[in-house]
């Protein structure tokens, strides 16, 4: 059975969206279990995103000043709110940040001024890239064959 492009595209988008939701649900679970916590805020013009990390990702867990209970409780409440927003599909995982010895996940969404995350098919980017390259650059056919690996 041959699938038409529209059906195949919908299936691929469903798979990508499902993978993205799995990452978001996993992030929410890690927040609720205290494995990761909010560790920073990235402020940009008209929007912001929150950075999540902790010992699981090679960093340190954010704690209240002088390890006071009120500070720790406030951080835990923020983590619970973020987890609920992730589970309810209000905010999304928007990216990751990797540094030497540390890893963090960034979350944001329309309520923080960040545009809605829409899954895209890599093939669309690939076709767009090929269109731009072939229009403005001369690429030797041997180079294309080498890069593609003789499909």
Strands (E), the chain: 37-44, 47-53, 92-99, 102-108
In this predicted model, what pLDDT tens digit does every residue of 72-113 receive, in sequence order?
Answer: 888 889 999 999 999 999 999 988 888 877 888 999 999 999
In this predicted model, what pLDDT tens digit does every residue of 120-136 receive, in sequence order?
Answer: 656 666 677 777 777 88
Strands (E), 3-91: 37-44, 47-53
3-class SS of residue 92: strand
Assessment of whether the complete model's pTM goes beyond 0.85:
no
In this predicted model, what pLDDT tens digit does every residue of 37-65 receive, in sequence order?
Answer: 988 888 989 999 999 988 877 777 777 67
Question: Is pLDDT at 6 greater than 60 in this prediction?
Answer: no
Measured CA to CA, the distance from residue 98 to residue 10 in angstroms comes to 32
- The pLDDT of residue 137 is 78
Question: Is pLDDT at 13 greater than 60 in this prediction?
Answer: yes
Measured CA to CA, the distance from residue 119 to residue 18 in angstroms comes to 10
Question: Is pLDDT at 30 greater than 60 in this prediction?
Answer: yes
Query: Average pLDDT of 10-23?
Result: 79
- The pLDDT of residue 27 is 93
- Average pLDDT over the chain reads 80
């Amino acid at each position: 059975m041959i699938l038409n492009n529209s059906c195949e595209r919908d299936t691929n988008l469903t798979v990508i969206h499902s993978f993205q939701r799995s990452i978001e649900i996993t992030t929410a679970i890690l927040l609720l279990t205290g494995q990761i916590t909010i560790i920073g805020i990235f402020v940009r013009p008209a929007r912001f995103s929150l950075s999540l990390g902790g010992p699981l990702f090679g960093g340190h867990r954010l704690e209240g000043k002088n390890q006071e209970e009120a500070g720790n409780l406030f951080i835990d409440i923020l983590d619970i709110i973020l987890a609920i927003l992730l589970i309810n599909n209000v905010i999304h995982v928007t990216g990751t940040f990797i540094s030497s010895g540390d890893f963090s996940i960034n979350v944001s969404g329309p309520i923080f001024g960040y545009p809605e995350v829409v899954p895209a098919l890599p093939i669309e980017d690939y076709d767009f890239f090929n269109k731009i390259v072939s229009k403005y650059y001369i690429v030797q056919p041997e180079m294309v064959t080498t890069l593609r690996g003789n499909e």
